[in-house]
Amino acid sequence: MATIHTNVSGAPLAQGAPPAKEAVPPSPPNIPLPPLEAKKAPPLPAGLIAGRKYVWEFPVRLSHWVNAIAIFVLFATGLFIAAPILMPGGEAANHFVMGRVREFHFAFGFALILGVLIRVYWWFVGNNYARSGFPMFWKLSWYKAVIKQVVDYMHLERGHVHIGHNSLAGASYMAFFAMCGFEGLTGMALYSESNPGGFWDKVTGWSIPLLGGSFRVHMWHHLAAWLIMVFVLFHIYIVLYDVQLYKNGLVDSIIAGSKFYEPGDHDADTWIS
């Protein structure tokens, strides 16, 4: 049978003519696309960190945490000794709760004394930051610096930051160590009452008659403990303030030792600054 070729419309083609090809739609013109715009980097924050410095050496960090833990335990056990509200029933000799609490109190009292002694020793042999903020009571400029720091803490914008301690912090720590020394003196004097004529009685027992007797020494010891807690509350507030506003790694520095700084921050560049 002969094959009849037709065109697209179905009409027969002439003999020997090749079949017509299907029409192909023309391709769209090549329209150049606009070049992709490079994404701009977001602007750098105002508090750009410029560098990092190793500030707090290990003995400074160690004494800080020893003192912090000791103060917490001493205050809690001291409140219990002053007003024992959770005493079990029965004979005290069968429970010895107060004795155990006093045992913890005295043990952490020795820990606080050790922590303070380490910090005082490292004040002399450590780096410049260990002595930064030392209160220079004999200089008028020191009082001006303290007032300026107080005013700075009342603002909500980042001012000049001290990489070490500022003057206000130095004065606060001096008062803190003085109170710890007073607590150690009166605490060991009260401790010595259980062993008259012993070592601690000879070393610290003279403070009992000086301060008006055992009862008054208890009261002074209790008052100084509350003053230390007031310092702790202000200390925590300033830490939270610095973390939020300065963003210089303050909390990390007392764990790892390093702080961030920016151009213009005050550095401890002398032996006492």
The residue segments making up the domain with residue 139 are 51-261
Residue 128 located in a structural domain: yes
> What pLDDT sits at residue 23?
57
> What pLDDT sits at residue 43?
47
Residue 77 and residue 104 in contact, taking contact as beta carbons nearer than 8 Å: yes
Residue 22 located in a structural domain: no
Residue 16 located in a structural domain: no
Residue 36 located in a structural domain: no
Residue 206 located in a structural domain: yes
The number of distinct structural domains making up the chain is: 1
DSSP character string of 145-207: HHHHHHHHTT-SS----BSS--HHHHHHHHHHHHHHHHHHHHHHHHHHTTSTTSHHHHHHTTH
Residue 202 located in a structural domain: yes
Higher pLDDT, 244 or 221: 221
Q: How many CB atoms lie within 10 A of CB 47?
A: 12
pLDDT over 90 at 208, yes or no: yes
Tens-digit pLDDT profile for residues 16-71 = 555 555 555 665 556 555 554 444 544 444 544 578 889 999 999 999 999 999 99
Q: Distance (Å, rounded) from C-alpha 186 to C-alpha 44?
A: 54
Residue 11 located in a structural domain: no
Position 15: which residue type?
Answer: Q
> What pLDDT sits at residue 38?
45
Q: How much is the mean pLDDT over the chain?
A: 83
% pLDDT > 70, the chain: 80
Residue 66 located in a structural domain: yes
CATH number of the CATH domain containing 222 = 1.20.950.20
